[in-house]
Each structure stands twice: as structure tokens, then as C-alpha cells.
Structure 1
Amino acid sequence: MITVWAPDGVGEVRHGDDLADHLLGALSECDLADGDVVCVTSKVVSKAEGRDVVGDRAEAIVRETRRLVARRGSLSIVVNRLGLTMAAAGVDASNVETGRVLLLPEDPDATARRLRADLLERTGAGVAVVVTDTAGRAWREGQTDIAVGAAGLRVLDDHAGRVDPYGNTLAVTAPAVADELAGAAELAAGKLARRPFVVVRGRGDLVLPPGEDGPGAAALLRPEGADLFGLGAREAVLAALRGSDDDRAAFGGPADAVELRDLLAGLTGAEVGLVDGAIEVVSEDGRTGWVVAVAAYAHGWLVDERAPVGVRLRPITT
């Protein structure tokens, strides 16, 4: 059985406050136990760490942004300095004084490790800690909470190699249990009830022994280029047309040569062949050369200017 509860009575968190004090002060009717998972919202972590700063929200978003993913009007989806893909870089202007904005914690995994160590020292309980924040999802309306920091937790429950009840061997199934715990915590806490701490009991199998903090929530981030949706639809088209080296990583590694050859043949109607690992497109039509160059860029290939006839392409890694 899994039990999830969010204690009432947590006061306003301010810069310099001890988060363990706030949590333990609210747990008057129940003690922490080995195997519990303590979830804490990034909002109160940021307040305790002084990430509540004076400034314009739009300017703060720019400072916190590492790369733009998509923009529609005033809404921007970006990869922020923590590597998280979020709306507005995770910069929050709610529940703070007018003229101030709240930035995400400086290092949520480090915060989770410190809080975990504090709780072990003060209660003797070997718990895991998850720092949560709210994020939207591609293809689905609404938002849910995810783990942006973690300590003492197996953040992924890798099922590779396990066998299902029908005898099928699983290959890629890996529930993001840290995110699932964050979502369960949000259900118990609510958005407006001022309950920033949640305790989840019943998944001690995911909690690591004291002294083992695990990889943290950073392990849930896909490497640059490994995600199939590194840019928005419009932004991907514009990036391919620009052909800048700065945008290449978002498109991932080079496509298979046969796959790209067949794509170019269908796209241009030209003669396309493979020669010593390169792709050659035979055409005297200038527009065909331009189309090939754009398609090659989007698939991780370069136009080889040394080609004697037509257009020759080579993978960017060679």
C-alpha cells in the first residue's frame, strides 16, 4: 500500500530558512520512517535559497535560457541552465511580491542531498528527497509535477530484461518513478493549500541506503540531440534553412546513409547514389542543390564542396 500525505501548518518560507525545521515542525502527528520519500516544491527551496530576486520576468527568462526550443507569441519553451525543457525557463512570478520573480534552485540535486542528510541526522530515518516543479507536456493539455532534484532515490526503474506475464522480454520500459512520485505529491498537496512538503510511504524499494544518494534527477535529462523533438516545428524549419553550426545539436546524429539517399531521391527526383560512404546527387538544377543542402543539414550530413560533379554529401562526424 502507498500512503501520501501533505502536512498542514507550514509557515512562509524565507531566505535563509532551514527546510528541515519547516518540515519537522509540521509533522507533529507522524514521524518519518526508513524508506519514506519526502517531496518538496522547488518554490520553497528557491525562497529558502534566496532565488526570489528583483527584476523583470522577461529579462530573467533570457538570463536563465540556454537554448530556445519554440516560441508562440509571448510563450517560449526553452532549455534552461539546468538542462530542463520548460515554459519560461521555469521562472515564476506567482506567490512573490510585485516586482520580484522566483528562479529555480541553483542546484536542485545538491539541495536534495543536503536536506536528506539533515533529515537523517535529526530523525535517524533513511529517507529519499525529491524536489518538484510543475511542467507541461508535449501533445497533452494541462501540467503535472516532475522531479527537478532528487537524492537517495532510484529515479528510473529500468525493466530491461524483465519478462512480462506473456513471456515477452522487455527492452526499453523504464518508468520515471521520480516523476511519478512528484505527480502523486502534487495531488496530495494541491496548488493553493500552502502545503509544500509531501511524504510518500510504501515505495521503500526505490530508496537507496544512507550514504548512497544516486544520480539525482539530472539522470532523467536526455542528452542534447537524443530527443526527437529538440526544436518546435517552425523553429526546426528555420534552423535547417539557416544551416548554422549552433543549431546542429538539436537535430541529433547523422541519419543512416540509405535512409537519406532514399529520402533525397523521393524529394528531388534526381539520381542519387552511394559512393564510398558518401551520397552523390546528380543534377544540374540549382534548386535541387539547395533542397539537398537543407535536407542534408536536418539529417546530420554536410555538403562536400570538393565534389567534382553534382552534389556530394558526407556525415558530419567523418
Structure 2
Amino acid sequence: MSLQAWPLEGIGEIRAGDDLAQVIVEHLAEPLDDGDVLVVTSKVVSKAAGLATTGDRESLLEAETARVVARRAQTRIVRTHSGLTLAAAGIDASNLEAGSVIPLPRDPDGAARELRTRLEALTGVRLGVVVSDTAGRAWRIGQTDIAIGAAGIAPLLSFAGVEDAYGNLLAVTSPAVADEIAGTADLVAGKLSGHPVVVVRGLPGEWFGAHDEGAAALIRDDGGDLFGLGARDAALAAVSRGDLPAGFPAPDEDDDLVALARAGADLSLADVTVAADGSLEVRALSEDGAPEAYVEAGALAERLRVLARALQRDVVIAVVSD
């Protein structure tokens, strides 16, 4: 595969109500070909949709947040109503008039589909569209662009069942094609150069088609997300009252509740046994009534309660005496 990518020059300020597809076509240095992908930043999509506001940023963040994933001081990582997990819901104030902020497109995949339909009508060629935004990564410093919307291009490939060069059968390898296209466009455009649209050419023809799933196919649902909450936030949820929040890790039936609790206990002072009815009985191990044994028994019981909540086990836990 040999790719070409270049930014469109001269696109000025996009304003509410602008025909973004028409603006793109007017700034093409050469005609588009079948199989070209237009990567468009979410900022200009939101601007054209009239989403920029001078309202209160905090109120906008609350409105855009489906749930908080992690919180540290003033920083909030949240899951938006469209399923994206981003710092401050992706709300941005850069490249806007002073005092203005702008959220992400309400329906990024829908915006990509509409833009693709309009571009294909104007150009007469088959295209893909990726709506991109900048995001951090949970385990790495820095940011990269990702696809938050896609149309006409496969967002994800699956190599499951394919043999590698050594004859090994692949099981889970799934390149995030739309994200890689977005990252390519970001490198070409330059973060500070004011190029909101990039053309990427040379992708395999079999990657193109309806692909109605869009970039939403790249989002893990709550049940499959092992990191649906930050470590601190998961711990707080585990010790809190009420229902566990969405995003709390799904339980693993292989986890041994009793073994996990005993691993952190002083078993010379207290221990736990499983009663005939399945309840857990915690006992202080002291023949002379030493207070430290009862303290350890209480701590063990609380550890069991937190673990039972975290593992979503419905079990009765009691401190008993013989």
C-alpha cells in the first residue's frame, strides 16, 4: 500500500450554517478520485452545525456528560452521550472567539454520513469521510487524533482466523483503520497550521462501502470495558452505598472472594469460613479475648463486604462468636 495525504489550503473561518461540503469542494487543488477519504476535524463540523456557545463551560460539560469515568482535582474524564470517553467531554475553546466554547458534534457518525452524501453528490465520486478529534490515551503521555465519526470506510478490520507469516492463527487482531486514518491526517495537517480538512488517497478499495456502523464500532460497551472507571473512582464506587454505576467492571466468576479477603488478613487473629447456607462467617481467633483479634475480625469482614460489592456477589457476611 502506498498512501498520499495532503491538507486543503485556504479554508477560512467556518461559521454556523455554512455548507461544509461546498466549502471543501471549492478548496480542492485537484479533483477527488474514487476511494479518497476526507478527514475533517470535529471543530469545523461543530462550527457549521452552530454548536459554538458563549454559555457557561461547566453547564455545557454537565449537559454533554453521560457519566464521569475518572476525576482528579479539576480534571474530569467523562463518557459522552455518543459513547466517547474524553477529557472534559471534548469541549474546546481553542481557535474560537474569546469567551466561546464548542462541544463535539451531537451525532458524529450521522455528521460523517451527511457530509459524505453531500460530497459525493457534488463530486460524483465514491468517498469515505472521517470526523476526527484529538484525544489522550489512558496509558501514554500525549495526544493523537482519533475517528469519532466515519462513513463509507471500514472503521475496523478483523484478522481473526487469518494466519500470520509463521502460520499462527490470529484471534483478536483488529486494526482500528479509521483511527489510523485520522492520525495520518493529523500528521499531515499539523496541529497549529489551521488545516481542518485532509485528503487521504491510496487505501484499498475493499475498505470502502456503506459501513453503517461508523466509528461507533470502535467504542467498547460498558460490559466489555475493563477500564470503565478510573482506579480511584472504582474504589470509591466499591465502598459506596446504592447501585454500582455504569462502567463498573463486569465481575469475573473465577474470582475467589474468600481467598482474596484472606490474602490481606492476619489469619492468626481472624479467619472466615463458608457456612452451610453459603453465608460467610468471620471469627476472631482469640482464647483470651485479645482486642486485636476482634479488630482484625472487623477489618476482615469489611474487606469481604467491599470485595463482594466489587465482584457483584450477593452474599451475607457476619461476624460471629463461638
TM-score w.r.t. the length of structure 2 is 0.88
| Root-mean-square deviation (Å) | 2.0
Letter in 2 for 1:183: G
Deviation at 1:83, TM superposition (A): 1.1
Q: Which residue of 2 aligns with 1:100?
A: 100
Q: Which residue of 2 aligns with 1:297?
A: 309
Q: Which residue of 1 aligns with 2:226?
A: 228
Deviation at 1:75, TM superposition (A): 1.3
Deviation at 1:274, TM superposition (A): 9.3
Letter in 2 for 1:204: P
Deviation at 1:272, TM superposition (A): 4.6
Q: Which residue of 1 aligns with 2:252?
A: 255
Letter in 2 for 1:282: E
Q: Which residue of 2 aligns with 1:314?
A: none
Deviation at 1:73, TM superposition (A): 1.8
Uncovered stretches (5+) of structure 1, i.e. residues with no partner: 312-318
Uncovered stretches (5+) of structure 2, i.e. residues with no partner: 284-296
Q: Is 1:240–1:297's contact at 8 Å kept on the other side of the alignment?
A: yes
The answer as to 2:280 corresponding to 1:281 is: yes
Letter in 1 for 2:305: A
The answer as to 2:80 corresponding to 1:80 is: yes
Deviation at 1:281, TM superposition (A): 2.8
Letter in 2 for 1:292: L
Shift of the 165–94 alpha-carbon distance from structure 1 to 2, 3 Å rule, reads: same
Q: Is 1:251–1:299's contact at 8 Å kept on the other side of the alignment?
A: no
Q: Is 2:37–2:200's contact at 8 Å kept on the other side of the alignment?
A: yes
Find the residue that maps to 2:144 and give its secondary structure.
strand
Q: Deviations over 1:208-265 (max 9, x none)?
A: 33xx242011111111132221112221111111043142x32232221553343233
Q: 1:264 aligns with which of 261, 284, 288?
A: 261
Q: Which residue of 2 aligns with 1:9?
A: 10
Looking at structure 1, the residues matched to 26 and 82 of structure 2 have their Cα atoms a distance apart, in angstroms, of 31
Looking at structure 2, the residues matched to 6 and 164 of structure 1 have their Cα atoms a distance apart, in angstroms, of 35
State, as a whole percentage, how many aligned pairs show the same letter: 49
Looking at structure 2, the residues matched to 161 and 275 of structure 1 have their Cα atoms a distance apart, in angstroms, of 46
Looking at structure 1, the residues matched to 180 and 257 of structure 2 have their Cα atoms a distance apart, in angstroms, of 38
Find the residue that maps to 2:173 and give its secondary structure.
coil
Tell me whether 231-240 or 284-293 shows the greater mean CA deviation: 284-293
Deviation at 1:273, TM superposition (A): 4.8
Shift of the 91–78 alpha-carbon distance from structure 1 to 2, 3 Å rule, reads: same
Count of aligned pairs: 302
Aligned runs of 1:118-157 on 2, under 5 Å?
118-157=118-157
Deviation at 1:287, TM superposition (A): 3.0
Deviation at 1:59, TM superposition (A): 2.1
Aligned runs of 1:110-259 on 2, under 5 Å?
110-205=110-205, 207-209=207-209, 212-247=210-245, 249-257=246-254, 259=256
Letter in 2 for 1:301: R
Q: Is 1:251–1:300's contact at 8 Å kept on the other side of the alignment?
A: no
Looking at structure 2, the residues matched to 170 and 106 of structure 1 have their Cα atoms a distance apart, in angstroms, of 36
Looking at structure 1, the residues matched to 303 and 169 of structure 2 have their Cα atoms a distance apart, in angstroms, of 43
Q: Is 1:154–1:214's contact at 8 Å kept on the other side of the alignment?
A: no
Shift of the 265–272 alpha-carbon distance from structure 1 to 2, 3 Å rule, reads: farther
Find the residue that maps to 2:314 and give its secondary structure.
strand
Looking at structure 2, the residues matched to 274 and 43 of structure 1 have their Cα atoms a distance apart, in angstroms, of 60
Q: Is 1:156–1:174's contact at 8 Å kept on the other side of the alignment?
A: yes
